Amino acid sequence: MHRSELQGAGRAPPEPAPRRDARRCGRRHVLPQSKRGEWVKRRLKNNREIAKIFHHIKSHREQPGRNMFFIPSGLAVFTRFALKALGQETLCSLQEADYEVASYGFQNNCLGILGEDTDYLIYDTCPYFSISELSLDSLDTVMLCREKLSQSLGLRLADLPLLACLLGNDVVPEGMFESFRYKCLTSYASVRESCDRRGNVILAVADHISKVLRLHQGEKKLEEMLPLGPNKALFYKGVASYLLPGQKSPWFIQKPKDVVTLDKQVLSMSSDPESKQEVPMCMDPESRQKLPVGTDPECNLEAAMCANTEVKQEDPVNMGLEAKHQVTVVSDPEILKVARAQHVRAESYLVYSVMSSGEVECSSSLEDATDQALPSQAFVYRPVRQRVYSLLLGGGGGGSSTGPAVKEWFVYSGNPLRQPDLVRPLQMNLPGGTPSLRQLWLSQEPGIQAQRLDTLLACFDLSSSREELQAVERPFQALCCLLVYLFVQVDTLCLEDLHAFIAQALCLQGKPAVELADLQLDHIDPRAVQLATLLVRGLTTLVLVNGACGSPWEMADFMPWHLFDGKLFHQKYLQSEKGYTAEVLVEQNRSHVTRFHTLKSVVCKACGKENRPIVSRRHWRPHHAGRWGRQGSSSHGTSSGYSRSGHGQHWRDQGPASALQSCLPVPPEASRRAG
């Protein structure tokens, strides 16, 4: 099942009720641990898909067809800001997005959910519309009807969660009931030749539910009718994960007045007037009212549960890691409340995840795993994230912090994603020390905006370049900040790369979308694809830093539609590689030529302060490119490349098996091996 961001629109309810305008729900702030295994499986699959894309580009020097389409890096982050810029009210979920979207649609009389996730056929919520069948010209699409689905399978709506878990979903692994499904299929008397094996398995399991399990419903517990074994708690959790606020399942048997607690979520027992039995009902733990989207940050379904209160089974996913490593999160309730509100309103990125759970994630990026000269974005921006962690979590001082480590689930080559990297905060270099979040977020004092900017630059370790960057006009301040950081961190970037980055940003201003779409490229260069990924992931990092520092810059200043277009960058990259002049790169626009040289001067001067001269590739020594092994390899020797001592580890020294002072990977045995 593919998880997506979904949009609901208003519909007229059976009884008069306020009509809800269209809303968009963004992604959850952290993935439930029960779904981490499936997330990892998909990310590793994505990595294989990306490897095929780069192989195609290298073999054919052209863009792959639609059959190799991969969602661009950063799209999930920037989509919410694009919608806000268009005046659309946008909400980000606090838990799994599909659950909150289904809850929102259920509680607010929505016309429907537009998406591509079969879980929306299982939730008993508003109608579900296919986004893959949507015609943007006519706005026609297909409605997938759960009532018709249930009828065709001989089931009731309340049976669909049970069916989903027996077939396998994000909570219950598909292989868990493989033998059970095989037995259902062998005893199924109505196998259809028109269906493939998967279709007949679904029909067979549904038939077993309707003709066998339902005979004992209300009399026997699920574990007495199904081969749940040691996975009983996980299976109950999977079924319960489809219960929206106020809903109940007839498949759960419970003694009267018992209460099942899922972390801070409560399944209260109430009588079903039809079955005359006690069944769980999902309710808000404090108000006992239905839960609106994004209102209970602690209400989540990843906690271990079982409808039988006598069974207490812990979630086996990462249980050992949890026992060894407990993250201390922010204790200031007012600050946490502000962070939470900003997250729900889609005004920040990752800030609330760090503060509330000490855990963040970043999905696959278009990176060439065989390129030994360019680093993964996960390593390039890690020092920035470490300083943000210090700011948000109040980590110590003097280089590597002794503060709480943050769990990072970042996808990069060589990372098997068995466990998160534990990344410790890194102290910032700020005169007078690091300001408090109350100062940065809540203060209205004169000069606070300057302090916010100082803190932002300190996160990038670019305080010495403040004067040069402040002289740059909007929206290019943020771009120059990012370019300086990139060129200081990545010593294989050259002058031609800088020319391409600056030229595309200037030419993008005022260029119509139709013209961008019609751009013709001589060929596709794999290095340019990865450079584009590095910059876009840098823009998402700017969103994180800007939010953490109290928003010294306007968010619009580093949105990609103002600063970066991948196709335009590719054109400028190819032209720059051929040695085109600045005038040609900026399409003979005189004002652009002046700005080009100004921005280039700012970046080169700032890099010069950091002892990082930017030279043409033609002047490189032969050993400069590709002389180091890719991060994540078995070799982790000291890099001879550029690195600023004491300012965070250079990307070449960062790897999943490195013994880092500021990044402590899991498990500890890995550190001992590397040491």
pLDDT, position 674? 32
| Residue 227 belongs to a domain | yes
Residue 188, φ and ψ in degrees, nearest 5: -80, 125
| Residue 644 belongs to a domain | no
Domain termination site, one of 322, 345, 368? 322
List the CATH number of the domain containing 104.
3.40.50.1010
Question: Is a pLDDT exceeding 70 seen at residue 434?
Answer: yes
| Residue 624 belongs to a domain | no
Same domain assignment for residues 345 and 253: no
Give 474 or 383, the one with higher predicted confidence.
383
Average pLDDT over residues 491-508: 97
Mean pLDDT, the chain, rounded, equals 80
pLDDT, position 208? 94
Same domain assignment for residues 123 and 245: no
* 13 pLDDT tier (thresholds 50, 70, 90): very low
What is the DSSP secondary structure assignment for residue 33, as one 8-state letter?
Answer: G
| Percentage above 70 pLDDT, the chain | 75
Give 342 or 9, the one with higher predicted confidence.
342
* 344 pLDDT tier (thresholds 50, 70, 90): very high
Q: What is the pTM of this model?
A: 0.76
Same domain assignment for residues 577 and 449: yes
Q: In the numeric block, which tokens belong to residue 242?
A: 């489809």
Question: Is a pLDDT exceeding 60 seen at residue 273?
Answer: no
Task: Kindly report which listed range (4-8, 260-264, 341-345, 585-589) carries the lowest average pLDDT score.
Answer: 4-8
Domain termination site, one of 322, 353, 370? 322
Distance CA 268, CA 246 (A): 9
Q: In the numeric block, which tokens belong to residue 63?
A: 């863009």
* 634 pLDDT tier (thresholds 50, 70, 90): very low
Residue 47, φ and ψ in degrees, nearest 5: -60, -40
Neighbouring residues of 332: CB distance < 8 A, sequence distance ≥ 6: 437, 438
The string over 336-365, giving b where at least 16 C-beta atoms fall within 10 Å of a residue's C-beta and e elsewhere, is bebbbebbbebbbbbbbbbbbebbbbbbbb
* 253 pLDDT tier (thresholds 50, 70, 90): confident
Same domain assignment for residues 522 and 668: yes
* 8 pLDDT tier (thresholds 50, 70, 90): very low
Question: Is a pLDDT exceeding 90 seen at residue 58?
Answer: yes
Same domain assignment for residues 94 and 190: no
- pLDDT for 410-429, tens place per residue? 999 999 999 999 999 999 98
Same domain assignment for residues 105 and 171: no
* 27 pLDDT tier (thresholds 50, 70, 90): low
Distance CA 250, CA 218 (A): 7
Question: Is a pLDDT exceeding 70 seen at residue 318?
Answer: no
Domain termination site, one of 298, 322, 346? 322
* 267 pLDDT tier (thresholds 50, 70, 90): very low
pLDDT, position 395? 56
- pLDDT for 128-171, tens place per residue? 999 999 998 999 999 999 999 999 999 999 999 999 999 999 88
Inter-helix orientation angle 146-153/197-211, to 10°: 80
Average pLDDT over residues 2-30: 41
Average pLDDT over residues 179-189: 90
- pLDDT for 275-294, tens place per residue? 333 344 454 433 333 444 44
* DSSP output for 586-615: TTT-HHHHHHHHHHHHHHHHHHHHTT----
CB atoms under 10 Å from CB of 164, counted, come to 23
Same domain assignment for residues 135 and 226: no
Q: In the numeric block, which tokens belong to residue 476?
A: 């290019």
pLDDT, position 37? 87
Distance CA 156, CA 241 (A): 18
Inter-helix orientation angle 526-548/448-459, to 10°: 140
| Residue 155 belongs to a domain | no
| Residue 460 belongs to a domain | yes
Question: Is a pLDDT exceeding 70 seen at residue 654?
Answer: no
pLDDT, position 192? 75
Same domain assignment for residues 491 and 586: yes
pLDDT, position 615? 93
| Residue 208 belongs to a domain | yes
| Residue 643 belongs to a domain | no
Task: Kindly report which listed range (111-125, 180-194, 456-470, 651-665) carries the lowest average pLDDT score.
Answer: 651-665
Structural contact between residues 143 and 11, judged by C-beta atoms closer than 8 angstroms: no
pLDDT, position 4? 31
pLDDT, position 648? 54
Q: Half-sphere exposure (CA, 13 Å, Cβ side) for 589?
A: 16
Question: Is a pLDDT exceeding 90 seen at residue 664?
Answer: no
Task: Kindly report which listed range (282-286, 497-501, 547-551, 601-605) carries the lowest average pLDDT score.
Answer: 282-286
Give 371 or 312, the one with higher predicted confidence.
371
pLDDT, position 279? 41
Nearest alpha-carbon partner for 54 in 70, 76, 40, 74: 70
- pLDDT for 435-450, tens place per residue? 999 999 999 999 999 9
Same domain assignment for residues 183 and 329: no
Q: How many folded domains does the chain comprise? A: 3
pLDDT, position 400? 52
Same domain assignment for residues 265 and 341: no
Task: Kindly report which listed range (23-27, 194-198, 488-492) carries the lowest average pLDDT score.
Answer: 23-27
Distance CA 209, CA 336 (A): 45
Same domain assignment for residues 55 and 69: yes
Same domain assignment for residues 143 and 219: no
Question: Is a pLDDT exceeding 90 seen at residue 530?
Answer: yes
Task: Kindly report which listed range (153-162, 172-181, 547-556, 665-674) carries the lowest average pLDDT score.
Answer: 665-674
pLDDT, position 650? 55
- pLDDT for 90-119, tens place per residue? 999 998 889 999 999 999 989 999 999 999
Question: Is a pLDDT exceeding 60 seen at residue 637?
Answer: no
pLDDT, position 432? 84
Q: For residue 441, count CB atoms less than 10 angstroms from its CB and return exposed for 0-12, middle for 13-18, buried for 19 or more.
A: buried
Own/partner pairs, 171-175, CB within 8 angstroms, 24+ separation: 171/34, 171/35, 171/234, 171/237, 171/238, 171/241, 172/231, 172/234, 172/235, 172/238, 173/37, 173/38
Average pLDDT over residues 466-474: 91
Average pLDDT over residues 568-579: 97
| Percentage above 90 pLDDT, the chain | 63
pLDDT, position 337? 95
| Residue 631 belongs to a domain | no
Distance CA 205, CA 188 (A): 9
Average pLDDT over residues 209-217: 91
* 31 pLDDT tier (thresholds 50, 70, 90): confident
- pLDDT for 596-620, tens place per residue? 999 999 999 999 999 999 999 887 6
pLDDT, position 29? 60
Average pLDDT over residues 297-309: 35
Amino acid at 387: R
Average pLDDT over residues 337-356: 94
Range of the domain at 374: 324-619+649-674
